[in-house]
Amino acid sequence: MYPDSLKYLIESFKTLPGIGEKTAERLAFSTFSLEKEQLELFSSSLIDVHNKIHKCNNCNLLTDKDCCYICSDSTRTNILCVVEDSKNVFLFEKNGMFHGKYHVLDGLISPLDGVNPEDIGLPKLLDRIQKEKFDEIIFALKPSIEGETTALYIKRILEGLDVKITRLASGVPIGADMEYLDSLTLERALTDRKLIE
Amino acid sequence: MYPDSLKYLIESFKTLPGIGEKTAERLAFSTFSLEKEQLELFSSSLIDVHNKIHKCNNCNLLTDKDCCYICSDSTRTNILCVVEDSKNVFLFEKNGMFHGKYHVLDGLISPLDGVNPEDIGLPKLLDRIQKEKFDEIIFALKPSIEGETTALYIKRILEGLDVKITRLASGVPIGADMEYLDSLTLERALTDRKLIE
């Protein structure tokens, strides 16, 4: 029914998460109103992200260089932030409040999903910690069973090393309605309560 | 912050309607999990829709041939359905209940938006009506002021021709909650009420 290229474009949009039939059709039709240059950039960047972008040799962050722009920045402080995904690094960087370095794990330990400690790229992290001698290691992992398990597992391996090990604070998100909080978050917020000064 | 190609891909997704910063980032990152072949098809179809798809010489439907698959189908009945957009044709065809031909206008008459009768490609439609001698012309235009104006305008031009001119029925959509109906729809549904047989 649709001309071939339009059909393939609709199918392509449908492979993306959260995009169903109707949305894929709407998006595909909307490309008719784009400039030729915009379409060419769109088209080439799809191929380029596959061909040019890979993990940084040092920290696993997605980059188009051998060494990412953070690892090659000598002004960064000696604090290491361990995250689950490159996306988290870009989130922190957008925010601009952290000036240390990062290390991106290959996921979180989750035995139920078949992800064991040897699957998340720990040797690379441990090598790096021994070489770069950080003052502090912050675990910025999801506050879930998998995130806590992973942080605890790595902390145990690092025992004996002279390094401060911390995790992000858990608690009530700013602006949240108290009534929608789950009980675990509330419990953590209560346990970690702070003195008002 | 982002590697160039990833940045361009996020920007490209943002040019699409209804896609904001966060969604564009999510979609761009999701392409990392696509196969190389999928990305290549996605990439090439973006270019192809621009280069290969154009309007059918006869009916204006988007096609990659000189004459679209409907105009070149000799089994179609001699009824013409006039629509505003190629999308509507694909919608009808998906539904599969109409077996006639189509004509796609270049939009609807809307003096407030600067779209006058001479802007919507009427000569091509009138030429075709005189040449192909249809038994019936159905206006399947949006039930809005613009849609009704356009249908009435064309009907007036066709006066004197021996052809039945109809429009889609307006009324209560199946499954709709009565309380959410606008008063115009309700009025139309009441006027066009049908005898229960």
- What is the CATH number for A139? 3.40.1360.10
Predicted pLDDT of residue A38: 95
| Cβ–Cβ below 8 Å for B12 and A42 | yes
Number of domains into which chain B is organized: 2
Predicted pLDDT of residue A153: 94
Helical axes B21-30 vs B4-14, angle rounded to 10°: 130
B144 in A contact zone (CB under 8 Å):
no
| Cβ–Cβ below 8 Å for A12 and B93 | no
Same domain for B160 and B80?
Answer: yes
Neighbours of A2 (CB within 10 A): 21
Same domain for B40 and B115?
Answer: no
- Residue A60 counted as domain residue: no
pLDDT (tens digit per residue) in B36-89: 999 999 999 999 999 999 999 999 999 999 999 999 999 999 999 999 999 999
Strand partners of residue A79:
A136
Same domain for B140 and B96?
Answer: yes
Predicted pLDDT of residue A183: 83
Q: Is the pLDDT of residue B171 over 90?
A: no
- Residue B152 counted as domain residue: yes
- Residue B62 counted as domain residue: no
Q: Is the pLDDT of residue B194 over 90?
A: no
| Cβ–Cβ below 8 Å for A3 and B41 | no
Predicted pLDDT of residue B137: 94
| Cβ–Cβ below 8 Å for A50 and B44 | no
- Residue A112 counted as domain residue: yes
User: Smallest Cβ distance to A46: which of B25, B31, B69?
Assistant: B31
Same domain for B48 and B75?
Answer: no
pLDDT (tens digit per residue) in A86-110: 999 999 998 888 999 999 999 999 9
Residues B192-197 have a mean pLDDT of 85
Q: Are the C-beta atoms of residues B108 and B84 closer than 8 Å to each other?
A: yes
Which of 7-26 (B) contact A at CB < 8 A?
A: 8-9, 11-12, 15-19, 23, 25-26
Predicted pLDDT of residue A178: 81
**What residue of B is the nearest CA neighbor of A38?**
B12
Residues B14-37 have a mean pLDDT of 94
Please state whether beta strands A62-63 and A54-55 pair in parallel, antiparallel, or not at all (unpaired). antiparallel
B87 in A contact zone (CB under 8 Å):
yes
Same domain for B38 and B92?
Answer: no
Neighbours of A171 (CB within 10 A): 18
Q: CATH code at B31?
A: 1.10.8.420
Average pLDDT, chain A: 92
Predicted pLDDT of residue B192: 86
Same domain for A144 and A176?
Answer: yes
Same domain for B88 and B146?
Answer: yes
Parent domain of B24: 4-52
Q: Is the pLDDT of residue B181 over 90?
A: no
What b/e string do you get for B66-96 counting C-beta neighbours within 10 Å, with b at 16 or more? eebebbeeeeeeebbbbbbbbebbbebbeee
- Residue B133 counted as domain residue: yes
Same domain for A41 and A120?
Answer: no
| Cβ–Cβ below 8 Å for A46 and B48 | no
Same domain for B38 and B77?
Answer: no
* pTM: predicted TM-score of the whole model, two decimal places: 0.82
- Residue B39 counted as domain residue: yes
Please state whether beta strands B136-139 and B62-63 pair in parallel, antiparallel, or not at all (unpaired). unpaired
Residues B148-172 have a mean pLDDT of 91
Predicted pLDDT of residue A197: 81
- Residue B196 counted as domain residue: no
Same domain for B102 and B168?
Answer: yes
Quote the percentage of chain B above a pLDDT of 90: 74
Query: How far from B98 is each of B95, B102, B104, B154, CA to CA, in Å?
Result: 8, 10, 15, 22
Measure B14 CA to nearest chain A CA, in Å: 10
| Cβ–Cβ below 8 Å for B46 and A9 | yes
Predicted pLDDT of residue A7: 95
Q: Is the pLDDT of residue B30 over 90?
A: yes
Same domain for A84 and A166?
Answer: yes
d(CA A110, CA A189): 25
d(CA A109, CA A13): 31
pLDDT (tens digit per residue) in B75-116: 999 999 999 999 999 999 988 889 999 999 999 999 899 999
The residues of chain A scoring below 50 in pLDDT are none
Same domain for B94 and B173?
Answer: yes
Quote the percentage of chain A above a pLDDT of 70: 100
| Cβ–Cβ below 8 Å for B17 and A5 | no
